[in-house]
Amino acid sequence: DVKVTQSSRYLVKRTGEKVFLECVQDMDHENMFWYRQDPGLGLRLIYFSYDVKMKEKGDIPEGYSVSREKKERFSLILESASTNQTSMYLCASSLLLQGPPTDTQYFGPGTRLTVL
Amino acid sequence: AQKVTQAQTEISVVEKEDVTLDCVYETRDTTYYLFWYKQPPSGELVFLIRRNSFDEQNEISGRYSWNFQKSTSSFNFTITASQVVDSAVYFCALSETTGNQFYFGTGTSLTVIP
């Protein structure tokens, strides 16, 4: 079974703080993704990575950065947290097939972040 | 424009009723995947099914069935004899040949009333 874990289920931070969200997968997947989920908006892609040290912007990268130093770990960084970044954050991973389409994504349990 | 549309925002059914969740997608690619995920109250998205664009056969897995129709660009999901444990938000998603990302619908929240 694919296992994707996230460092925290719930997190409360103050405006202006630097926030790190960690994601680890144990299936040797090349692709990793960060989404945020908000009511009525579904899932929106923040960043993804298809290899170590590689990253691509998704639909809403502003205010976020990412780090992928090891294949199994993908970190999402909020350089200076703001209240509008209060949301559910979901990490996912997938195999990198020979070509697109992107294969099945497997998700972690999510981190519910509140910025006060 | 939305690539994946789930027009039903919320649905409530009484236990043992059948329920169909609609999904309409938009793509110009000939090769693509379609997916359904379940998100129970715990929050984790659970993968249910992947369908290749070249395979229009309907799929049945226990009480779950999926109807894929390219002619109407739809990939609908039916739960037969619904149970309280089916209460969740269900997401439909599309993965195209171009690009390297999923496109999710906005989800349908299903409540099964005992």
User: Could you report the per-residue pLDDT of A11-45, keeping only the tens digit for each?
Assistant: 999 999 999 999 999 989 988 999 999 988 889 99
**CA closest to B52 among chain A residues:** A101
Mean pLDDT of A62-70: 96
Mean pLDDT of A69-81: 96
Given a cut of 60, whether residue A87 has pLDDT beyond it is yes
Given a cut of 80, whether residue A109 has pLDDT beyond it is yes
Mean pLDDT of A97-101: 60
- Report yes or no: A11 at the B interface, CB cutoff 8 Å: no
First to last CA, chain B: 38
Given a cut of 90, whether residue A1 has pLDDT beyond it is no
Cβ contacts of B29 on chain A, cutoff 8 Å = 101
CB neighbour list of residue A37: distance below 8 Å, 6 or more residues apart: A43, A44, A87, A88, A89, A90, A110
Contact yes or no for B101 and A58 at CB 8 A: yes
Quickly state the pLDDT bin for B46 (edges 50, 70, 90): very high
Quickly state the pLDDT bin for B100 (edges 50, 70, 90): low
Mean pLDDT of A52-57: 90
Cα separation, A3 vs A109, whole angstroms: 10
